[in-house]
Structure 1
Amino acid sequence: MGIVLNQSFKNTIITYLGFGIGAINTLYLYPVFLGATYYAVTNYILSAANVIMPLFAIGMQNTLVKFYSQNKTEDERNQFLSFTVLFPLLLCIPLLIIGFVFLDDITAFVTKKNPVVEEFILLIPFTGLCMAYFEIFYAWARVHMHSVFGNFIKEVGLRLFSSIALIGLYFNWISLVEFVYVTAAIYFLALLVTMAYAFYIKKPHFQFAIPSNVKDILVYTFYIILSGSVANLLLDGDKLMLNQYMVIENIAYYSVATYIALVISVPSRAMHQIVYPITAKLMHDNKHDELNDLYKKSSINLQIVGGFVMLCIFVNINELYELVPKEYAGGIPVVFMIGLSKYFDLILGNNNAIIFNSKYYRMVLFLGLILVFLTVVLNMIFIPLYGIFGSAFATLLSITLYSLAKLLFVVKRMHLYPFTKQTIESIVLTTVLFLLFYFWEFPFHPIIGIGLKSILVTIAYVYLNYRFKISLEINQVIDSIIKKMLPKIR
């Protein structure tokens, strides 16, 4: 777990720094500088691009991680890297042609309720293509155990440049319409920088050759395309559905709530960058016991860190919403519903990495397709009835069922189990602290109240987790920090 903890720690710090910048953007700059309409438009463009991104990447970012370690010679590795970069282009071109042929029909469908989207419709495939190749070159770096820089670009760079663009909007350097185009340009810049870094780590020697195991690669890739589409539809499909049923400003209100809840999944995203290739190698080497140990450790460690984040958000949610414009304040129930779904997914540890690197990934994928269908149906039922609350409930139900299906599949088929008695202890501890602190409000400015309550929650949470030894790895980290601080105190 040494390299995992090392790079996971760096990735967690970077990711939270990015989310801190994103929080400023989401809670203040977007609502105040951009306004609900164009904030919603920008969010819709990015969500739609993220949904179609797996089609452009055709799963090569996952394929690269799974199969790279199986190439033993330098020539084989060069052939494989070349294939993962060049092959998606062969499929992107016909997809783009089909999109242009049916452009009028697609535009009429997505702009039926909100015509303001029409002007920016071409930015969706452009941004989706940039996202796809960013992920491919990021995977190029990750297989060489360099996950930190790409994570910095993804989590910090994109949001920092968005902040700069928002400031430019405030000073009238760019218009509202131009801001949407600048956002797409930022993703293109991220792609160029990540590509340059990937080539710096491993100088490319492009070869127009087909790998010897191309059949296995293509079969795996086909299923990964579908699985990526499933995951992204579960993540962003609700915003696309809201565009079809409600005025577009509701996407802005929903986006603020989901962004706050999404912070809970940051530890999982950070650890995933380095755990994924390690999981792939353990499975390739048939090291079942080590894999099971990694599964349990990743589960409880993510549960503790993610539970802390969720606890801080939930107990401060009322004060937090006092900082945003009043029209956004109705999203508090959305935060709770989406937050709980993220927490349940988070405590599954490296479940996704295990599934997508196993021979059983096809069956789980079909479960995902069923759940995407369920998500669409539930949104169609609940959005007209309850608006953004209905969409949040549909998302909670869908993601929970999807996570539960993946968990049961790994337990039954692969005899791997992530939970221990510490799992229950952590849930009980988190619940008790929530009940103690949620109803406690300080008569100060919201920022001061959030700060004070967060300090008290942190002290109680860290002490109780340490006292009851919920995670030995986290206790070791705390012990090492204490040892480093003691000489300075003396």
Structure 2
Amino acid sequence: MGIVLNQSLKNTVITYLGFGIGAINTLYLYPVLLGATFYGLTNYITSCANVIMPLFAIGMQNSLVKFYSQYNTNEEKSRFLSFTVLFPLVLIIPMILISLYFYDEILFFLSKKNEIVKDYVWLIPFIGLCMAYFEIFYAWARVHMHSVFGNFIKEVGLRLFSLVLLIGVYYDWLSVEGFVYATAGLYLLAFLVTMFYAFSIQKPTFQFAIPANAKDILVYTFYIILSGSVANLLLDGDKIMLNQYMIIDNIAFYSIATFIALVISVPSRAMHQIVYPITAKLMHDNKYDELNVLYKKTSINLQVVGGYVMLGIFVNINQLYEMIPKEYNGGILVVFMIGISKYFDLILGNNNAIIFNTKYYRAVLFLGVVLVAVAVGLNMLLIPSYGIMGCAFATLISITLYSVAKLLFVVKRLHLYPFTIQTLHSIILTLILFLLFYFWEFPFNPMISIALKSVLVTIFYVFINYKFVISVEINQAIDILINKIRTLS
């Protein structure tokens, strides 16, 4: 777990730094400088791009991680890397040609509720293509155990440059329309920078040669496309559905709430960057006892860290919404619903990495397709009557059902178990502290209230977790920190 803990901690710090910059953008700059309409438009375009990204990548980012360690010679590895970069073009080019042929029909469908979407539809495939190749070259770096730089570009770089663009809007160097186009340019820049970084780790010798195990790769790739599409539809499909039923401003209201809730999943995102290739290697080597230990450790570590983040958000949510424009205030319940679904997914540890490296992953993926259909149906049913609340409830139900299905699959098929008695202790602790602090309001400025309550929550949460040894590894990290402080003093 040394390299896991090392790079996971770095990735966690980077990801939280990115979310800190994102919080400034999302909670203050986007609503004020762009307004609800263009903020909603920007989110809609990037959400659509994220949904089609798995089709453009053809699952090569996951295939690269799964199969790279199986090649023994540098020639085989080089051939495989070339294949993962060039093969997606086989599907990308026909998809773009088909889209151009049906462009008017696509334009009418996507803009029938919000006319403003019409002028920016072409940015969706452009950004989707940049996202796809970013993920492929990021995977190129990750298989060489270089996960930090790509994570920095993804989590910090994009948000930091968005902040620069927003400053440009503030000083009238850039129009709100220009901001949307410049955002597409940022994704292109992220892809190019990551590509050259990947090449610096291992120089490419491009050759369109078919790997010996091409059939296995293509079969796996098909299901990974399915998996990525399911995951991204569950993540961003709600915003796409909102565009079909409500004015685009509501996407802005919903996006702020979901951004706040997504902070809960940051520890998981950070850890998975390095845990995924390690999980793939353990499964390839049939080291299931070690994998079971890793499963439990990732589960409880993510639960403790993610539970702390969720607790901090939930007990401060009312004060947080006092600090943003009043028209966005209807999203508090959305934060709770999306946050709970993210917390449950978080405590499953490296569950996804295990599933996608087994021969049984297909059944779960088809179940995911069914649950996406359920999500779409629930959104169609609930959005017209309940607006963004209905959308959030549909997402909560869909993500929770999908998470339960994946958990049961790993338990029943592989006899791997993520939970221990500490899992229950952590849930009880988090619930008690929520009930204690949520209804305790300070009669101060919202920022001061958030700071005071956060300090108190941190003291209680860390002390009780440490006292009851909820996570051995986190206790060890705290001990190391205490010893360093004592040494310095």
TM-score by length of structure 1 reads 0.99
Q: How much has 1:250 moved relative to structure 2?
A: 0.3
Once the two structures are superposed, residues 358-403 of structure 1 have per-residue CA deviations (whole angstroms, 9 ceiling, x without a partner) of 1011001011000000000000011011000000000000000000
Equivalent positions of 1:155-234 (< 5 A) are: 155-234=155-234
Helix, strand or coil at the partner of 1:387 = helix
- Per the alignment, residue 466 of structure 1 pairs with 466
Q: How much has 1:49 moved relative to structure 2?
A: 0.2
Q: Distance in 2 between matches of 1:240 and 1:487?
A: 54
Following TM superposition, the consecutive aligned residue runs of length 4 or more in structure 1 with deviations greater than 2 angstroms are none
Task: Write the letter of the residue equivalent to 1:387.
Answer: G
Q: Does 1:394 align with 2:394?
A: yes
Q: Distance in 1 between matches of 2:101 and 2:447?
A: 52
Q: How much has 1:441 moved relative to structure 2?
A: 1.1
Q: Distance in 2 between matches of 1:133 and 1:75?
A: 22
Task: Write the letter of the residue equivalent to 2:326.
Answer: K
Equivalent positions of 1:398-477 (< 5 A) are: 398-477=398-477
Q: Distance in 1 between matches of 2:487 and 2:401?
A: 50
- Per the alignment, residue 8 of structure 1 pairs with 8
Q: How much has 1:214 moved relative to structure 2?
A: 0.1
Equivalent positions of 1:29-428 (< 5 A) are: 29-428=29-428
Structure 2, gaps ≥5 residues long: none
CA-atom RMSD in angstroms: 0.4
Q: Distance in 1 between matches of 2:361 and 2:386?
A: 35
Once the two structures are superposed, residues 299-343 of structure 1 have per-residue CA deviations (whole angstroms, 9 ceiling, x without a partner) of 000000000000000000000001100000110000000000000
Q: How much has 1:139 moved relative to structure 2?
A: 0.2
Q: Distance in 2 between matches of 1:348 and 1:298?
A: 8
Q: Distance in 2 between matches of 1:103 and 1:229?
A: 22
Task: Write the letter of the residue equivalent to 1:351.
Answer: N
Task: Write the letter of the residue equivalent to 1:2.
Answer: G
Q: Distance in 2 between matches of 1:300 and 1:176?
A: 44
Task: Write the letter of the residue equivalent to 1:485.
Answer: I
Q: Distance in 2 between matches of 1:172 and 1:485?
A: 47
Helix, strand or coil at the partner of 2:247 = coil
Aligned length: 489
Q: How much has 1:63 moved relative to structure 2?
A: 0.2
Q: Distance in 1 between matches of 2:184 and 2:323?
A: 28
Q: How much has 1:488 moved relative to structure 2?
A: 2.0
Q: Distance in 2 between matches of 1:370 and 1:296?
A: 29
Helix, strand or coil at the partner of 1:382 = helix
Q: Does 1:488 align with 2:488?
A: yes
Helix, strand or coil at the partner of 1:416 = coil
Task: Write the letter of the residue equivalent to 1:77.
Answer: K
Q: How much has 1:453 moved relative to structure 2?
A: 0.5
Q: Distance in 1 between matches of 2:2 and 2:100?
A: 49
Helix, strand or coil at the partner of 2:70 = coil
Q: Distance in 1 between matches of 2:450 and 2:4?
A: 32
Q: Distance in 2 between matches of 1:179 and 1:160?
A: 14
Q: Distance in 1 between matches of 2:92 and 2:169?
A: 33
Helix, strand or coil at the partner of 1:357 = coil
Q: Distance in 2 between matches of 1:241 and 1:122?
A: 19
Helix, strand or coil at the partner of 1:174 = coil
TM-score by length of structure 2 reads 1.00
Helix, strand or coil at the partner of 1:99 = helix
Q: How much has 1:207 moved relative to structure 2?
A: 1.8
Structure 1, gaps ≥5 residues long: none
Task: Write the letter of the residue equivalent to 2:129.
Answer: L
Q: How much has 1:90 moved relative to structure 2?
A: 1.5
Task: Write the letter of the residue equivalent to 2:300.
Answer: I
